[in-house]
A and B are shown apart, each in its own frame.
Chain A
């Protein structure tokens, strides 16, 4: 019985291929859009999660007033308002586990005939701890290297690849601003940061060496940035207040005076970015669902036309003994076949497009079995939902009226 009905539905659909195809196209586009949007949305969420995980947890950065524009008063003559002593004082606060003053900028690196522009970060060993950054070969430099301003460097994976190729960088000497630096270690890979920068395109050197040999700042010991890691998520508000009070006191800011520094809670920023991607991916899904809905309405539309066109056929079927449920299931089956076939094609196309997007743009796409299943269930649901009204209309026809049609 069911096989017969399937064959019949196939026949009916085959009788008007163009129309069936166009109806299906609505479903194909709907499901394809949902699949690709979900793949991109989930991919973006995944990428953000990776970035957050690679950033290090519970981080603040304290920026010197002269560093930022708008709202925060600049220090005199561009001198940074923060210094190494501030960093040391922050390190004494409760709930703070790592503090690293940072002086960074983009500089050209040279190794033999190769040169490469990278982010050069002058800092202290705590920086690696705060950022949860590992050294995969060689060893990190120590506090003594900072004290005596030795010319040692840790290179990130991207910088290492571009400068040294297949060679092992450890023990090699590279030049930054003409000064030779001995590579003591290679950093583990972190991938992209939240703002899309390649975090591995970097070289980390002692803060003192950076200020003397690379950036040549006239304000030795002053820094534009201090990275602070709190012990826990819960400690962050306390630490934030503590730093503010401490720095105001140290900088002798009287009441009513604005801060000459600026704090950013990186973890909160990351969270809000994760939230943004989540919202974006939901929105994409919602927009795509609308096209699925439109596809469903297309099915209903065509099924209604089909019922009207086949009124006489329905009358004949009723005259030879078709019950309401026979007619109902016949038309419902057609709607479901159209939507499921369309869904399947849309799925294949959507996955193909997502992979293409990935291949062309390198964007992370995630195709989860759950999403595929949901798309399928929704399509079948759409078929039933939008097929039901026309099918019921067919099943409720009066036999003699239907037979007289035309």
Chain B
């Protein structure tokens, strides 16, 4: 694993939020490198800066200072459209609240990143269906998100995150809204995709969930306080 390509490299990453009470430092200098194919769980108490960090990794937000290289590219040097392309092709983001578009069928939801990539209608539909089948929801392709359960919605969101074959999956508490049984199913999916070579970074509060990963990074008060390898899914 030591020689593999570095997907994420952050150095001295700082993020301060402007609040009414002045600048609030949510990240106080974070260094981390994640290699291709890794499966990382990020843990830490509430307010320790995990989501802040994930949003920076996902190119949804910009750091106050520090460097972020994603797949070898300096993210700070990219303009808005280049960041959009990165979010479209390189990163798949999975949210705690699923974030499906409520008026669109599941198939259209999954296909949306392909639309922004400019993929034609037929291959787009074929690919979206393929992903829906993959997460076991092929028969609901034409349904609206409101017609299926939370766990199923999260599976659709994972299908959407993967539809453009990204190098990296970022998931901020993907099981936070789900019961433990459903959570296990979702984690099984992440494990499956990780074994196919996709790098996975996920945030969780639950040790059970974190144990699916092979590396655990712990945040406290805007800093990384521990970073250790674990047994992974076998554990």
Contact = CB atoms under 8 A, between A and B. Distances in A.
A320 B60 contact: no
A251 interface: no
Interface residues of A, number: 22
Interface string B145-164: 00000000000000011001
Given A11-B103, A11-B104, A400-B61, A320 B121 contact: no
B112 A320 contact: yes
Interface stretch (A178-186, A221-229, A311-319): A311-319
Nearest to A4: B115
B219 to A, nearest CB: 18
Which secondary structure dominates where chain A touches chain B? Answer: helix
B85 A323 contact: yes
A319 B85 contact: no
Given A324-B80, A400-B55, A317 B112 contact: yes
Contacts of A8: 104
A1 B99 contact: no
Contacts of B84: 318, 321-324
B117 interface: yes
Interface in B111-157: 112-113, 115-118, 120-121
A4 B116 CA distance: 11
A317 B112 CA distance: 8
Interface string A315-340: 01111111111100000000000000
B194 interface: no
B81 A320 contact: no
B93 A319 contact: yes
A357 interface: no
Interface in A347-406: 399-400, 403
B60 A403 contact: yes
B80 A319 contact: no
A12 interface: yes
Contacts, number: 64
Contacts of B113: 320-321
A320 B103 contact: no
B88 A320 contact: yes
Which secondary structure dominates where chain B touches chain A? Answer: helix
A252 interface: no
B81 A316 contact: no
Contacts of A76: none
B73 to A, nearest CB: 16
Nearest to B84: A323
A384 B147 CA distance: 36
A318 B104 contact: no
B112 A318 contact: no
B37 interface: no
Given A15-B103, A400-B55, A320 B93 contact: yes
A323 B81 contact: yes
Contacts of A254: none
Q: Which of A12, A321, A400 has the most CB of B within 10 A?
A: A321
B111 to A, nearest CB: 8
Given A1-B115, A4-B121, A322-B84, A316 B60 contact: no
Interface string A292-322: 0000000000000000000001001111111
A3 B121 contact: yes
Contacts of A323: 80-81, 84-85, 116
Given A1-B118, A399-B87, 7 more contacts: A4-B115, A317-B112, A320-B88, A320-B160, A321-B84, A321-B85, A326-B116
18 contacts: A1-B118, A1-B120, A319-B60, A319-B93, A319-B95, A319-B99, A320-B87, A320-B160, A321-B85, A323-B81, A323-B84, A323-B85, A324-B80, A324-B81, A399-B61, A400-B60, A403-B60, A403-B99
Q: Return the 6 tightest CB-CB contacts between A and B, nearest first.
A: A321-B88, A400-B61, A323-B84, A321-B116, A400-B60, A320-B113
Interface of B: 55, 58, 60-61, 80-81, 84-85, 87-89, 93, 95, 99, 101, 103-104, 112-113, 115-118, 120-121, 160-161, 164
